[in-house]
């Protein structure tokens, strides 16, 4: 399968280079381009004084427009690609910025290093860049837990899910998914401003993540030291998560690391009570985050191996 080989090479490029700062300074990033389109539509169409049903419909139409526009660009580019190796390499270069394995690893590493050194304030600052919780109220376990949960969830959202849609549909698939994911991250909130306008985007994100999020959980089970235990915990605790999808990779990672995740979450204006995942295990620490990063690397190796085998078949 050409798409599988293209995605395998894109994953390799992402892991080797990430998205260089000098390139971001020059041209930005596809996510920022999509974000500007989403913002422009939202400012014009999300009228707070409009009826709720109207805002839901308008939000759905604008979300579909963004997804369709990204898919169309991906399709046009894909149709222009040459045949053979040149087409595979070019497609991989174009898909490369739509993956986030290296960025994810580096952001979590930025949390782990000061946490291991005992610099809690610096660790709090680093974790505030990847989660929405109030960092000032996080202790060592809370910081480690936040970093690990972000790593588990974003292994799906930033790596496995885009690869899944890229393998199925090529550049249109991975571009459309990135649009869906960006929409959810920008307007898929249950707040007064976005609950109605972003309702469709949030549900669409749940749908397109459903299968690959579970595959991510299975991948973490495969790379766990005790696969049977990880499988049992994932099956038992995944549904405890507030998200229909994020619980699968988080539960598998919690079991693989022998730590508990989720639980009460403190935000700037509220405390949310959530059940523990792998409740009987101890709290994580800096060493546990190192283990989580190792699980990420093993998961990426498994994903790359599957893609290579698919391309050979």
pLDDT tens for 293-309 read: 999 999 999 999 999 99
CB 69 within 8 A of CB 136: no
Taking CA 271 as the corner, what is the angle to CA 115 and CA 220, rounded to the nearest 5 degrees?
Answer: 50
Q: Taking residues 98-103, what's their average pLDDT?
A: 97
Closest to 238 (Cα-Cα) out of 152, 131, 146, 142? 152
Domain boundaries, the chain: 2-312
Looking at residue 137, what is its pLDDT?
Answer: 82
Q: Which residues of 91-130 are buried (b: 16+ CB within 10 A; e: fewer)?
A: bbebbbbbbbbbbbbebbebbbbbbeeeeeeebbebbbeb
103 vs 274, more confident = 103
130 contacts: CB under 8 Å, gap ≥ 6? 107, 108, 111, 146, 147, 150, 154
In this structure, the number of other CB atoms found within 10 A of the CB of residue 279 comes to 14
Confidence of residue 263 (pLDDT cuts 50, 70, 90): confident
Q: Which residues of 15-31 are buried (b: 16+ CB within 10 A; e: fewer)?
A: beebbeeeeeeeeeebb
Note the pLDDT tens digit of each residue in 189-204.
988 999 999 999 999 9
Residue with tokens 């078949």: 313
300 contacts: CB under 8 Å, gap ≥ 6? 11, 15, 101, 159
Note the pLDDT tens digit of each residue in 264-282.
776 655 677 889 999 999 9
| Rounded percentage of the chain residues whose pLDDT exceeds 70 | 98
Looking at residue 266, what is its pLDDT?
Answer: 67
Confidence of residue 313 (pLDDT cuts 50, 70, 90): confident
Note the pLDDT tens digit of each residue in 105-149.
999 999 999 999 999 999 999 999 998 777 888 899 999 999 999
In this structure, the number of other CB atoms found within 10 A of the CB of residue 239 comes to 11
Q: Point out the least confidently predicted range of 28-32, 88-92, 262-266.
A: 262-266
Structural Rg of the chain based on CA atoms = 20
Provide the phi-psi class of 170: left if phi over 0, else alpha when psi is between -120 and 50, else beta. Answer: left
| pTM summary value | 0.95
């Amino acid at each position: 399968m050409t798409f599988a080989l293209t995605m395998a090479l894109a994953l390799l490029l992402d892991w080797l280079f990430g998205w260089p700062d000098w390139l971001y300074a020059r041209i930005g990033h596809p996510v920022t381009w999509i974000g500007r389109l989403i913002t422009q539509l939202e400012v014009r169409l999300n009228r707070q004084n409009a009826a709720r049903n109207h805002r839901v419909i308008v939000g759905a139409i604008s979300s579909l427009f963004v997804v369709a526009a990204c898919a169309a660009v991906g399709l046009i580019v894909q149709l222009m690609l040459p045949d053979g190796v040149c087409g595979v390499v070019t497609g991989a270069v174009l898909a490369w910025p739509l993956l986030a394995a290296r960025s994810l690893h580096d952001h979590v590493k930025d949390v782990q290093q000061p946490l291991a050194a005992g610099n809690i304030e610096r660790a709090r600052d680093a974790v505030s860049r990847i989660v929405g919780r109030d960092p000032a109220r996080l202790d060592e376990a809370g910081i480690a837990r936040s970093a690990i949960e972000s790593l588990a969830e974003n292994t799906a959202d930033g790596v496995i899910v885009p690869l899944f849609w890229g393998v199925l549909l090529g550049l249109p698939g991975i571009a459309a998914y990135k649009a869906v994911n960006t929409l959810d991250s920008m307007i898929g909130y249950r707040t007064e401003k976005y609950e109605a306008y972003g309702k469709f985007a949030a549900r669409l994100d749940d749908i397109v993540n459903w299968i690959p999020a579970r595959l991510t959980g299975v991948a973490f089970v495969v790379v766990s030291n005790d696969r049977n235990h990880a499988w049992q915990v994932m099956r038992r605790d995944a549904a405890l998560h507030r998200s229909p999808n994020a619980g699968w990779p988080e539960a598998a990672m919690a079991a693989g690391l022998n730590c508990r995740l989720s639980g009460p979450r403190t935000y700037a204006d509220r405390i949310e009570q959530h059940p523990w995942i792998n409740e009987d295990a101890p709290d994580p620490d800096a060493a546990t985050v190192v283990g989580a990063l190792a699980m990420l690397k093993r998961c990426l190796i498994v994903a790359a191996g599957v893609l290579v085998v698919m391309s050979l078949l």
